[in-house]
Amino acid sequence: MNQKHNKEKVIQLGIQLFSGKGYNNVGLDEICKTTGMTKGAFYNAFESKENYLLETIYSFDQTNSARIIKMLTAKPGDKAIDLLKHFYTDMLKRQPKLNYMGCMINNMMSELGALNEKVGNATKEGFTRIIESIEPTVLQAQQEGDLTFDYTSKEIATLLHCTFYGVLTSAKSLNSNAQALHTMNILFNTLTTKK
């Protein structure tokens, strides 16, 4: 990539395009217009639209996992259950300002995961990393007596995030996050131990 095009910036622009419009609704002309690249420069840098998507997924995955870990890192006095609830509530409350863009991993998994093996593998790895980032906080909430031990911490982390992906898709469709917030609250109430 030449000096004119900062690769990281080009990848960040791709994340915005693919997250907002999906893969099939974004053509090469739009990518080049958004990034300021010529088609020749684009193909020289990424070889194909699919490779560009894979690089954007990888970049999003790395940034997203680091963000999740940071958000769920407890400070003295923090309860893990409160960190988890705030994590999901915050993401859902931000959706109207993001025009219900959702999560790139979820969006690409839904659109292409079953149709494209490379994208399917990349989104599966991204989803796995998300669960691995959430699971320690779930385990902490279990150890603090706030979440049930009826399921493993991995099972609960997976349930929380799969439910989140479902309500996120619903919020996008309904153009409202109210039902999504309510559903996540019900789920937490169901998993919370009765004291």
Tokens of 69: 């870990």
Residue 169: exposed, middle, or buried by beta-carbon count in 10 A (0-12, 13-18, 19+)? middle
pLDDT tens-place string over residues 104-124:
888 888 888 888 899 999 999
- What integer pLDDT is reported at residue 98 of this predicted model? 84
Grade residue 4 by pLDDT with cuts at 50, 70 and 90: low
Neighbour count for residue 133 (Cβ, 10 Å): 20
Query: Where does 51-191 sit in CATH, by number?
Result: 1.10.357.10
The whole-model pTM stands at 0.87
- What integer pLDDT is reported at residue 195 of this predicted model? 55
pLDDT tens-place string over residues 58-102:
999 999 999 999 999 988 889 999 999 999 999 999 888 888 888
Residues 6+ apart with CB under 8 A from 74: 80, 83, 137, 140
